[in-house]
Amino acid sequence: MRRVNFSVNKVSLATLVYLPNDVLKVLKGTLELMSVKLLVYLFVVFFACQKQVAVCAGLPQPIGNTFETLISRFGSRYCINMRPQENSWYQSPCGRFYDERIDVIIGVRVAGKLYSLPFSRLEFSNFDAVNQTITPCKLIWRASLKSPPMRLNLKFVSPFYPKDERTTLLPAFIVEFVVENCSEEPLHGELVYGRELNARQLATLHMGDGVAVFETQGVFKAHEGVKGKGWDVELMRLGGKTMLTFRRTFKLQPNSDERSMLVLACYSRDAFFKAKGYPYRFKYAHLFGDVNEVMNYALVNAEELCSRTELFERTLLDPVEDDALKMLISLAFQSYASNALWLLPAEDVATSMGLKREPPFKQWFSVLEGGGGLFNSTVDVEYNISPFYLLYWNELLEMLLDEWSAYRRGGIIRHDMGMGFVANGMSYYHDMPVEENTNFLLMLFSLWASTAKHGLLKGWWDVVVELVKYLLSTDTDGNGFPNIGTSNTIDQAVYVTQHAPEQTYLAMKMAATYQAVWQMARFVGDFKTAKECQSALEKITATMKKAWLGDHYPVSIDRAIPGWDAYSIYTANGWLLPLIVGVSPQVDVQRMRIDIINSTKATWRGYSSTHTSVDVTTFISQNIWRDCIAAYLGMDMVKNARSYWSLQWTLNRTTGGAFVDSYNYDTGYSSLRYYPRGMAVVCYILAIGGISFNALERKIVIQPLFENVVIPLPQFSDWASKRIPSIELRPSEGKPRISIRHKELLEGWNVAIGR
């Protein structure tokens, strides 16, 4: 989740007040153990975050409809974070929070005047109008002038294509410029892209015909490069800064346009990451030789890379009608992608360090927690992202499960695997045992049920049994609900929501987990575990029955805790993954439905629901998750996404933060910025179609929320041949008209439609 406790501000202090003594002891102990280096780093990150908020306060609104976001190379960290609201541009081969502000000019020179988009504090003129739009992998600006009448269409593309590592990991952006002459007169001018270079970059700069390469020293050493055909390269002094400048002249006939391209790339072979003490470097360094190879590959294959990216994006955007939801999906994907890390062991470096052992992991994949503390693949965060893996890249989830299980201790899946570029063990200050164990088991179950990879269960059965044993031990009074290990991910909430024993949210999540493990246990022939799970599930459902308060479930059944009977949006949280793989919950679904309706009503505040009716903070990702469960239960809450987008839009034109998950309605303070968890939005495309898919039964069931829907089935794609099946439902008299694209990829599957 979360900001860690180092970001001591109003919210975390409020959280700390509610910590019980034993947690404070653990916290104190952990802090003592932290190295000075780590603490220095924590403060740097903290002040970096705080500064943005403080600096932005009181600034005028940015030009046009521009807003902050970031575009990044998935798994490869190369990242550009544009902040029009503060005339800033952050860039780095090391990614967000390891980046720095540089002055960037990007635009045109016409009639002797330089017009740029608003990403520097240098001297330039603004365009008369700027329109910004985003897609998951693209940033698009349309900037225009009245005199002379012209338009610049600028597109930054960050290629992504599922199961295609060369396309997805390539550390390069493709930048497309289309300049349009909108007048009856010829138009002469030049395109300009310029970026500030520091002393080290200048000292290492090599310029050639349409190409420049220099060295950047961040957390690690990297080469950066810019390349394009037909561009003049030079150094230019502007406002006291030395700018590496690419210029390209255009001579346009009346009402004509011209397209040109630049590639921005980086490359590092440094072994900058450690997992269990073993050095790792970017996987891209095994796919490409150096920065020149990266730039050439990107230029030569630009059309193909863009067309693949477009195809992927359409699977996310086509099912959605609402523009606000399209924007929310795009913003969320961008923040998610910026946090991903995909690495391979650096055996050569390990040998030079005197390490004789085998690498602990053949590959490393993790997603940092953005402004929530940069933790490596926090389990509760990935739980909300996991439907993305089920649809697009299930091998990534398999890697995560493998890593988490290697870091577990005493029957408990740890909250995270370490902070930043060090994954030597959990860095958050306490475990969330019940929650993370159930998250792990639900993800394992949904991966198994959606792929029928039986090896997953065989490989991890010992782990499953260990985790279930711990879960069973947490109920100390025999009612099925957990009494210990109940601290959870909702770390900006009041005590009852975050730490209370006997939580309904966790009990329901255990119910979903027990039902899932029961099925897995029967499959592997572990009837003892199956029986234990069945009996625990029965206890929980009996207690749930007693806990019902007429129109909702309480937050906790411990009536001594203030706020125990509040309304919560988390009650049904555990059931979304089982619903996606076609499981019928063995709990009172009708009450679950009533609970969702009434808790949403009791917690809604302007943009979203707070965690519970006694909390003042919201997590947008958890609102999205709730809406999607509602959809599976036949209720349309998809339109809520407009409010979530409205909050993101408002924040990103002022204090910024790209995808911002947390907002406090009392203080107006936003946190969990540049946060990956918004990727939960992928569930909307599943929920709108009400689709479940189960590879064990080879069954697809569709129960759409609307009559008129397109349901993409990316999980059945043959990406190599660009065949992505989908089901389209169109209203007609009597039965809806159904058409299936690339039916051949669903051969052997039974497709059932309707409620």
**Residues engaged in binding Ca ion (CB under 5 A):** 475, 477, 479, 481, 483
Least Å from the CB of residue 532 to Ca ion = 16
User: How many CB atoms sit inside 10 A of residue 57's CB?
Assistant: 9
Least Å from the CB of residue 516 to Ca ion = 20
DSSP string, 17-39: HT--HHHHHHHHHHHHHS-HHHH
- The one-character DSSP state at 718 is B
Least Å from the CB of residue 473 to Ca ion = 11
Closer residue to Ca ion in complex, CB, 481/663: 481
Least Å from the CB of residue 476 to Ca ion = 6
Least Å from the CB of residue 510 to Ca ion = 10
- The one-character DSSP state at 61 is P
Least Å from the CB of residue 575 to Ca ion = 20
- The one-character DSSP state at 419 is B
Closer residue to Ca ion in complex, CB, 361/481: 481
Closer residue to Ca ion in complex, CB, 32/477: 477
Closer residue to Ca ion in complex, CB, 292/483: 483
Residue with tokens 């809520």: 640
Q: In whole angstroms, what is the distance from residue 108 CA to residue 178 CA?
A: 11
User: How many CB atoms sit inside 10 A of residue 354's CB?
Assistant: 6
Q: In whole angstroms, what is the distance from residue 474 CA to residue 484 CA?
A: 5
Least Å from the CB of residue 53 to Ca ion = 41
Which residues have a Cβ under 8 Å from the Cβ of 523 and sit 6 or more positions away?
454, 457
Q: In whole angstroms, what is the distance from residue 590 CA to residue 596 CA?
A: 10
Least Å from the CB of residue 558 to Ca ion = 9
**CA nearest 679: which of 734, 740, 628?**
628
Closer residue to Ca ion in complex, CB, 131/483: 483
Closer residue to Ca ion in complex, CB, 497/640: 497
- The one-character DSSP state at 733 is S
Least Å from the CB of residue 512 to Ca ion = 17
Least Å from the CB of residue 511 to Ca ion = 13
Closer residue to Ca ion in complex, CB, 364/481: 481
Closer residue to Ca ion in complex, CB, 156/553: 553
DSSP string, 546-566: HH--SSS--SBS-TTSTTTT-
Closer residue to Ca ion in complex, CB, 464/500: 500
Closer residue to Ca ion in complex, CB, 471/660: 471
**609 burial type by CB count under 10 A (0-12 exposed, 13-18 middle, 19+ buried):** buried
Closer residue to Ca ion in complex, CB, 216/486: 486
CB 329 within 8 A of CB 320: yes
Least Å from the CB of residue 478 to Ca ion = 7
For the record, the structure tokens of 32 come out as 């003592």
Closer residue to Ca ion in complex, CB, 502/565: 502
How many residues does this entry show for the chain? 755
Q: Starting at the edge strand that comes first in sequence, how are the strands of the sheet with 187-196 ordered?
A: 113-116, 104-110, 187-196, 241-252, 232-238
Cα dihedral 591, 592, 597, 601, rounded to 10, equals 100
Closer residue to Ca ion in complex, CB, 486/622: 486
Sign of CA dihedral 113, 114, 116, 120: negative
Closer residue to Ca ion in complex, CB, 70/561: 561
Closer residue to Ca ion in complex, CB, 503/610: 503
* Helical axes 394-407 vs 379-392, angle rounded to 10°: 150
For the record, the structure tokens of 187 come out as 């138009």
DSSP string, 201-261: HHHT-EEETTEEEEEEESSSEEEEEEE-TT-EEEEEEETTEEEEEEEEEEEE-TT-EEEEE
Q: Which residue is nearest to Ca ion (CB)?
A: 481
Least Å from the CB of residue 679 to Ca ion = 33
Q: In whole angstroms, what is the distance from residue 736 CA to residue 753 CA?
A: 10
Sign of CA dihedral 402, 406, 412, 417: negative
For the record, the structure tokens of 726 come out as 């989908």
Least Å from the CB of residue 545 to Ca ion = 15
Closer residue to Ca ion in complex, CB, 363/483: 483
Residue with tokens 């470097």: 281
Q: In whole angstroms, what is the distance from residue 457 CA to residue 454 CA?
A: 6
Backbone angles phi and psi of 726, in degrees to 5 = -155, 160
Least Å from the CB of residue 467 to Ca ion = 18
DSSP string, 636-702: --GGGHHHHHHHHHHHHTTT--SS--EEETTT--EES-S-GGGGGGHHHHHHHHTEEEETTTTEEEE
